[in-house]
């Protein structure tokens, strides 16, 4: 009987790899052996650091767990079906699937909870599907218009994907920012339409944004995970513009400067979170339609090119240390299971 190994957050800054027996397979379930899983550099970093609110439950209905220690957490798992229950079609055996499952080497689930990976998509690209879906949801919430000037703060994996999707729109300007040179380089490489990728550490950073965007952005998307950036977003957005807040700050907070020009600016602050669909779209869009389009975007963008580090599952503690202690060295980190 194979042994199951799971990554468990046991306390702030503490990770353990715990072993258990192979999951029991029910007659209507399949057993999946994990190939790779992507670490969410935003949500999982907060969980690793203990900076998440303790009184909420995860909004993803495929992960039914209160967020508290100890917790086996994760939601970007790609594997292959190795066994099927006697009520499941046998031709599913061997299929590659995506699942909203933690970083675990084996799991059993109902096949209706799986997404089947298209034949032309690699496992590494496929495990980034939820990040593509998040970026798609963010851009839909932003509703970019032809000829607008757009600003994306933060070029981690979500910011890069947002930028890559916005690059497909006929915008007038597309400017990005990030603290780390590695990510700014990746941003500029997306397209010549990215007119600049700026460093927030430069003394004249905000003035450079203003110069690039000619008095401000029509649309600003905040993807940094750092609440300090929200003040930069507000200041850099033009009259009656939109600020889309894609970041989850957890327990981190910062004072907002709403007392200078903001009060007269008519700027709209819009929260964006992937677990729901914007009410104005929900009559035509559901999660199935959004996933179907996310697969198409994933095949076009091929976000696996932004995977900078691959750690074996048993080295998971090193992966989280890298994300927290050396963010300048990584964009996307994944775990492998072979």
- CATH number assigned to the domain comprising residue 10: 3.90.180.10
Q: Given the structure tokens 């650091």, which residue do they identify? A: 49
Domain boundary among 271, 290, 319: 271
Degrees to nearest 5, angle at CA 295 with 291 and 298:
130
In a domain, 283, yes or no: no
Q: pLDDT tens-digit profile of 292-319?
A: 999 999 999 999 999 999 999 999 999 9
Q: Are residues 46 and 80 in the same domain?
A: yes
Map residue 116 onto helix, strand or coil: strand
Q: Is residue 289 part of a domain?
A: no
| pLDDT tens sequence across 74-102 | 999 999 999 999 999 999 999 999 999 99
Residue with tokens 């935003």: 42
Q: How many domains does the chain have?
A: 2
Q: What is the pLDDT of residues 25-46, one digit of tens each?
A: 999 999 999 999 999 998 899 8
Half-sphere exposure of 24 (CA within 13 A, CB side): 1
- At how many degrees (to 10) do helices 228-235 and 205-213 cross? 40
- 81 shares its domain with 147: no
Mean pLDDT score of the chain: 93
Separation CA 322–CA 39 (nearest Å): 12
Task: Tell me which residue of 309, 336, 313 sits closest to 325, measured CA to CA.
Answer: 309
| Domain span at 15 | 3-127+302-336
Mean pLDDT of 14-20: 95
């Amino acid at each position: 009987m194979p042994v199951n190994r799971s990554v468990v957050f046991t306390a702030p800054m503490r990770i353990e790899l715990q072993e258990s027996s192979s999951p029991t397979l029910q007659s209507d379930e399949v057993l999946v052996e994990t190939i790779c899983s992507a670490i969410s550099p935003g949500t999982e970093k907060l969980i690793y650091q203990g900076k998440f609110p303790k009184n909420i439950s995860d909004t993803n209905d495929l992960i039914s767990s209160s967020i508290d220690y100890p917790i086996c957490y994760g939601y970007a798992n790609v594997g292959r079906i190795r066994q099927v229950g006697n009520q499941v079609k046998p031709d599913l055996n061997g299929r590659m699937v995506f699942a909203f499952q933690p970083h675990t080497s084996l799991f059993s689930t109902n096949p209706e909870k799986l997404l089947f990976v298209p034949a032309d998509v690699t496992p590494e690209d496929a495990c980034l599907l939820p990040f593509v879906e998040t970026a798609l949801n963010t851009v839909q919430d932003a509703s970019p218009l032809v000829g607008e000037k757009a600003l994306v703060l933060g070029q981690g994996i979500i910011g890069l994907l947002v930028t890559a999707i916005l690059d497909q729109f006929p915008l007038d300007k597309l400017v990005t920012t990030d603290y780390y040179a590695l990510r700014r380089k990746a941003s500029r490489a997306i397209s010549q339409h990215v007119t600049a990728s700026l460093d927030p550490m430069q003394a004249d950073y905000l003035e450079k944004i203003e110069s690039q965007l000619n008095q401000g952005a029509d649309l600003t998307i905040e993807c940094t995970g750092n609440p300090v950036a929200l003040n930069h977003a507000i200041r850099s957005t033009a009259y009656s513009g939109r600020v889309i807040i894609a970041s989850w700050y957890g327990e981190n907070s910062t004072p907002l400067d709403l007392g200078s020009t903001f009060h007269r600016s008519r700027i709209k602050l819009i929260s964006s979170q992937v677990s729901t669909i914007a009410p104005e779209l929900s009559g035509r869009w559901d999660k199935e339609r959004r996933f179907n389009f996310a697969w198409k975007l994933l095949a076009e963008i091929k976000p696996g090119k932004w995977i900078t580090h691959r750690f074996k599952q048993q080295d998971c503690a090193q992966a989280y240390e890298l994300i927290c202690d050396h963010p300048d060295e990584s964009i996307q980190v994944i775990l492998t299971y072979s």
